[in-house]
Every structure is written in C-alpha cells, then in structure tokens.
Amino acid sequence: MEISNNLILPALILVPFIAGFICWLVDKVDNHMPRYIALIGMVITFILTLVLWNQGGFSYTLGQAVPTWAAQFQLPWITSLGIDIHLAIDGLSILMVGLTALLGILAVGCSWGEIQKNVGFFHLNLLWSLGGVIGVFVAIDMFLFFFFWEMMLVPIYFLIAIWGHRGSENKSRNYAATKFFIYTQVAGLIMLIGILGLVIAGFDLTNKISFSYDHLLHVANFLDEKYPTIAYAFMVCLFIGFAVKLPVFPLHGWLPDAHAQAPTAGSVDLAGILIKTAAYGLLRFVMPFFPAASAQFADIAIILGLIGIFYGAWCAFQQTDMKRLLAYTSISHMGFVVLALYAGNILTFQGLMIMMLAHGLSSAALFIMSGQVYERLHTRDMRLMGGIRGQLPYLSFFLMFFIAALVGIPGLGNFIGEFLILMGSFSAYPVFTILAAISLVFAGLYGLILIHRTLFGTPNEEQKQHYASPLKDLSAREISLLMICVIGLVWLGIYPQTFLDISHSSMAWIANSYMPVQEVVDTMQQVVTQPNVEIQ
C-alpha cells in the first residue's frame, strides 16, 4: 500500500481541526477570514476523499472473516492497554466521509451571512464537530472510535447554546443544548459499558488486552456463538448507545428541541451527518459483532422503528414550526433505517446506503431553506406564512423540489433507497414492510401541508409589513448551495449504481457476517483450551 494512501486518512481528520483552530486565531484580525478558511478546509477534505475514492481497492472475497480495508493508517498510542491510532476506510466509510465533507461545505456556506458574532469560534466548533464525525467513520480501534464519538458532541453543544435560534431566549437554547448533551452522554456511557465488557471478555479468553476491531470482532463472534446471554447484553448496550443518536423511538426526545434551537449550520450537521453516525455504528459494529443476538433482537428493533415511522409522521403533521416539522420527519425516516438494518440482507443494506446519502442531502437542503425563509419572513411559524410563491419563484421551486425528494418521488435518491429497503425486507418481514409502505402516505401529507402553508394562499395579517416591498429571492450563493443537493439527489435517483458499486464490498461482508463463521468459533475454542494461542 502506498504511503500517501496511508497519510490521507489522518489528514481527513486533521484538516478540519487545523482549519477550525486557524479560524479562531484570525477572528480578531478580520471576522470575514474565518469563513474563507473554513470553506477552504472543507473543500480540501472533500478533495482528499475523492483521491481515496479514485485509488480504489473496494473489493471483497466471499468468506473473509474481517473486512477488506482500501487504506489503513496505524500508530501505537497506549500500548499497555492495546490502544492504537488505527484508521481505515472501505466502501461504507468513504461514502459517509464524502457526505460529511460535502455537507460541511454547505454548512459553512449557509452560515455565511447568518453568523455575525464570534465568527471564528463558531467555525472552530463547526469544523471540530465535522472532524470528530470523520474520525467516527474512519476509526477502527474501539477506544479511538469512542473518543471521537464523544468529542464530536461538545462543539455541537456550543453551536446550539451560543448561536441558537435568534427568536428564542437564552434559556430555551441552553435547555435544548443541555438536553441534547445529557441524552447523548448517558447513551455514550452505556455504549462504553458494552465496549469495555468486550475488551474484558477478550482478555479473559486470550490473556490479551486489545481494542482493535479485528480482535473484538473475533471475541464478539465467539461470545455470540458460545455465550449468547452475555453477547445479548453487550449487544443491547451498543444498540442503546447508537439508538439514541439515530434516534429510535422512544429515545428521540432530544432531537426536536435541538433542531428548533440550532443555527442553520447546526441543523445541517445534526440531520445530514450526525444521525448517520448511529446507522454507521450499527452497521460497522453491532451487526457483524453479534449476528445471532441481533437476529434475536430484530423483532423488537423493527417494531420500535415502525412506531417511530408513524409517530414521527403524525408529530410532523401536527407541527406549525417549520424546523420542528422537518425534525420529526427525520425521526420518521430513521424507522426505515432500522427496518433495513434488521431485515439483514444485501438489498436492504444497499438501500440503506442510498437512503443515508439521499436523506443527508434532502434534509440538509430543507434545513438550509428553513433558514432562508426565516431570513426573509422573520418567522418559522407556518401559520404566519403564505402567498410567497409569486414573489420568490426560485425559493418556491427549490422548496417544492426538496419536499418531493423527502417524500420519495421517483427519479430522486430517496425513492431508490426506500424502494430497495421495502423490496429487500418483504421476504423476511412482509407485515412490517407493508405497514412501513403505508406510512409513505403520511409523508406525502406533511410534505403537501408544508408547501401549501408556506408558498400558497394569502399572506397572514401579522406578516404584511414584511410583504410591503418585494422580498429578495435567493442569491447566487444560496442557489449554488442548493444546486449541489439537487445534482446529488438526481444522480442518486437516476444512476445510483455509482454509489452501489463502491458500497457493495462492505455491505456484502456485513450481510455475509450474519452466517456464523465456523473458522472463527473454532479458533476461539482453541484459544480457550490453549491460552498460548493468540488472536491476530
């Protein structure tokens, strides 16, 4: 493997960190410079992702006990505890890193005129949260993974608490930020119990302390086969840690408040990227580590996901605040993610991949547009809107386009993801799949309500002062940001094979891991009877 291939991986994390730190330093010199530095930092990160994509290596041989990594970087860190700085990338993680970098560019762009105070510190927090997310996607040492998992939350707390919704009191912003932080920290501690339990079990079996992915994969597979009760307990710990972030009903309580109070860039971060880390964690760790325990838990998880689909759709139907409506749509759509995960075949996994990319683009675009509407109407209350279609033709077009994408209109990426998930899950869970398909009707309803209340009808009496002079339509910068999402969604809808080819190797390995690998069990049995045998 080329050395340059290795060094790109730490660069993916370090570039946002360094750029964010420079933004903070130069803020006192000129408050416009942090914006350009942050944009350059995320563009460089995206280019590095494309370089890795171009170098290839996303292949898979049937029967492999561990994934094939297209690139790796490893340095010893805390050797006495078996902890390394071990980064690796495959077809699953490179698509997630690419989405993070792309939405990072959009987050910087949409905050260009919105953020006017502490601009340098804002971009420090924004870029460090993005760097932490990229760390989650590329870290395969479980300690390092947990480090990034917790680290990315702190900057988002500050984004909500300091630069939250300008129409709210400080008390509301602080409440939403604290609620988000407590939910995610408690979930993280529960997940840590599962990780440490695996490490201790590995030490008991092999007399070796290690947090490496390959080692813990073998340990978890052995426990899953020989000690199912212990494996089930560890699996539930990891599931809860990821389920809060996804979020899965009834662990979703932090999301609507966080979205309602977050700045536009924070909402792009939360909806487009942050909740995808939970789906990634379930795919990367829970499913391959505990295939039997996951299959045993599948009915419970899918039922919770289905409740979330209908609950999120119904709550979205009831909302009057534009951002809270969009927040509840995310809860609804994440129910499809749970169905795809626990149906457990290559078709649903591939559909999940497309859905994560498409939902990231469409939800990010809609939250950007929510900020654009607020800039012009000075409200997010849809009861005070109406009649702006004639004055803002560009804004109206893009809003209708992204609502169409969100509700799954054919020809756009969300439809492809939902179609693959429903088609792949029907054979295993026909009743659950039919119920999930029925929920798509509710998605159309809340989408139409949002469009009707925002764009059509007549202006509300309370808002007439904002309609006295012609409202300014979208600027070239705003149109450019939205066109990136338009191109991505059309590409995903018309030719998803580009992305399916990249992710196929990873998804095939995860799907295959549901079949217990007898060689792994035999090796572990040998380790138990002969302690001198070491797992690689």
Question: Average model confidence (pLDDT) for the chain?
Answer: 84
Give the model confidence (pLDDT) of 367-419 as tens digits.
998 888 888 777 787 877 777 777 788 888 999 999 999 888 888 888 999 89
Cβ–Cβ < 8 Å for 87, 145: no
pLDDT at 398: 92
Average pLDDT over residues 478-497: 92
Measured between alpha carbons, how far is 457 from 528 in angstroms, rounded to an integer? 72
Average pLDDT over residues 238-263: 86
**Higher model confidence: residue 28 or residue 515?**
28
Percent of the chain with pLDDT over 70: 90
Cβ–Cβ < 8 Å for 352, 343: no
pTM: 0.89
pLDDT at residue 167 greater than cutoff 50: yes
Percent of the chain with pLDDT over 90: 30
pLDDT at residue 359 greater than cutoff 50: yes
Give the model confidence (pLDDT) of 214-227 as tens digits.
889 888 988 888 88
pLDDT at residue 518 greater than cutoff 60: no
User: Residue 190: which residues within 8 A CB-CB, separation 6 or more?
Assistant: 237, 240, 241
**Higher model confidence: residue 290 or residue 67?**
290
User: Residue 406: which residues within 8 A CB-CB, separation 6 or more?
Assistant: 329, 333, 359, 362, 363, 366, 414, 443, 447
Average pLDDT over residues 166-172: 60
**Tokens 């920290």 sit at which residue?**
185
**Tokens 């457990």 sit at which residue?**
344
Termini Cα distance of the chain: 20
Measured between alpha carbons, how far is 311 from 317 in angstroms, rounded to an integer? 10
Average pLDDT over residues 98-119: 87
Picking from 235-239, 356-360, 434-438, 491-495, which range would have the lowest pLDDT averaged per residue? 434-438
pLDDT at 102: 94
pLDDT band per the 50, 70, 90 thresholds, residue 517: very low
pLDDT at residue 534 greater than cutoff 50: no
pLDDT at 387: 73
pLDDT at 236: 93
Average pLDDT over residues 202-211: 87
Average pLDDT over residues 80-107: 91
pLDDT band per the 50, 70, 90 thresholds, residue 532: very low
**Higher model confidence: residue 355 or residue 377?**
355
DSSP-derived 3-state class of residue 338: helix
pLDDT at residue 113 greater than cutoff 50: yes
pLDDT at residue 527 greater than cutoff 70: no
Measured between alpha carbons, how far is 12 from 138 in angstroms, rounded to an integer? 9
Give the model confidence (pLDDT) of 442-453 as tens digits.
888 888 888 888
pLDDT at residue 521 greater than cutoff 60: no
pLDDT at residue 268 greater than cutoff 80: yes
